[in-house]
Amino acid sequence: MAALAALTRSLGQHCVKRSKFSIVSQNIASHNYRFQTLRTLILEPSLSQSVKLHRLSDCDSGIVEVNLDRPEAKNAIGNDMLRGLRRVFEDIGQDSSARVVMISSSVPKVFCAGADLKERKKMTATEVHSYVNYLRSTFSLIEELQIPTIAVIEGAALGGGLEMALSCDLRICGENALLGLPETGLAIIPGAGGTQRLPRLVGKSIAKELIFTGRKIGGRDAMSIGLANYCVPCGEAHLKALEIAREINQKGPIAIRMAKRAINEGIERDMVSALDLEEECYERLLDTKDRLEGLAAFAEKRKPRYNGE
């Protein structure tokens, strides 16, 4: 109980003074993740018991965490879990208070093992086609969220698990991460966006090698080829992701959404039309209260208080 009280005090100090985050991180790292979320967490139900939605509060209000929790199947995505993922991300997309999303796993040594092949074996070809289409559209829904998304990868992220991470804006890996698209070994191809999102991240040649061979790579290799943004010691990926989420959460929320739109849509355009898009996104910010608050905070040498207006 004394350790628990000490942790709670440390978490409270983060809300008062963020410069003490490194101390808080060291305290949290020595505890099980369930104690890390002692700050006031709101746990919301989804259609699936294997997908849980957490909305952090107090100084972390705006950070949302989607937690994968199907230990008996290593977070393999069956029909029930897929429906839960869809419902959760549809809810997040309609929530104006959400500013950044983290996708993580509560199952040790695994992020997501991919599609549930035991279920797949019992499906007809038509059912498989419908499942893969629904999976693909769900990952597109994640990609199209207006707010930043962060995949927190400790352990295996294979097949559909990696495709889900590829649909996120950022990927934070532990050194024990194992990433791969092994579908060609099953005489199929990645069907939920892997053939398109992977080459856009790492280049066509590297993507072809990884998909043709089905080779799995570790966290450090993933970072070296641009597949992961960070590779940190085992067990610290969540802390690093939370640190980044907190940095994003302090910025102007409308500006973050416009930046994401300008990057995601602009990269698919020629330079002239992409710059037109940038101008359009910039103009959307000129009449916001947040822009004026940012200027006032700078002049007054204080932290800005953004409300997303």
Catalytic residue among 161, 183, 237, 294: 183
Strand order in the sheet with 63-68: 41-44, 51-56, 63-68, 100-105, 149-153, 170-174, 230-232
Output the six-digit token pair for 182.
Answer: 């092994």
In DSSP terms, which residues pair with 232 in a beta bridge? Answer: 174
Closest CA to 281 of 255, 251, 307: 255
Output the six-digit token pair for 109.
Answer: 């040594």
Element (H, E) at 11: helix 2-16
Q: Kindly write down the DSSP assignment for every residue of 104-135, as one continuous string.
A: EESSTTEEE--B-HHHHHTS-HHHHHHHHHHH
Q: Write down how long the chain is.
A: 309
Helices (H), 122-193: 125-143, 160-166
Catalytic residue flag (residue 127): no
Q: Phi then psi for 174, rounded to 5 degrees?
A: -85, 160
User: What's the CA gap between 29 and 33, in Å, rounded?
Assistant: 8
Catalytic residue flag (residue 183): yes
CA dihedral 62, 25, 152, 67 (to 10 degrees): -60
Catalytic residue flag (residue 293): no
Catalytic residue among 78, 84, 114, 160: 160
For residues 105 and 75, the answer to whether their CB atoms sit within 8 Å is: yes
Catalytic residue flag (residue 222): no
Helices (H), 144-270: 160-166, 194-202, 204-213, 219-224, 237-249, 253-266
For residues 131 and 79, the answer to whether their CB atoms sit within 8 Å is: yes
Catalytic residue among 76, 115, 165, 241: 115
Strands 230-232 and 178-180: unpaired
Catalytic residue among 119, 154, 163, 236: 163
Give the residue numbers annotated as catalytic, written as ranges: 115, 160, 163, 183
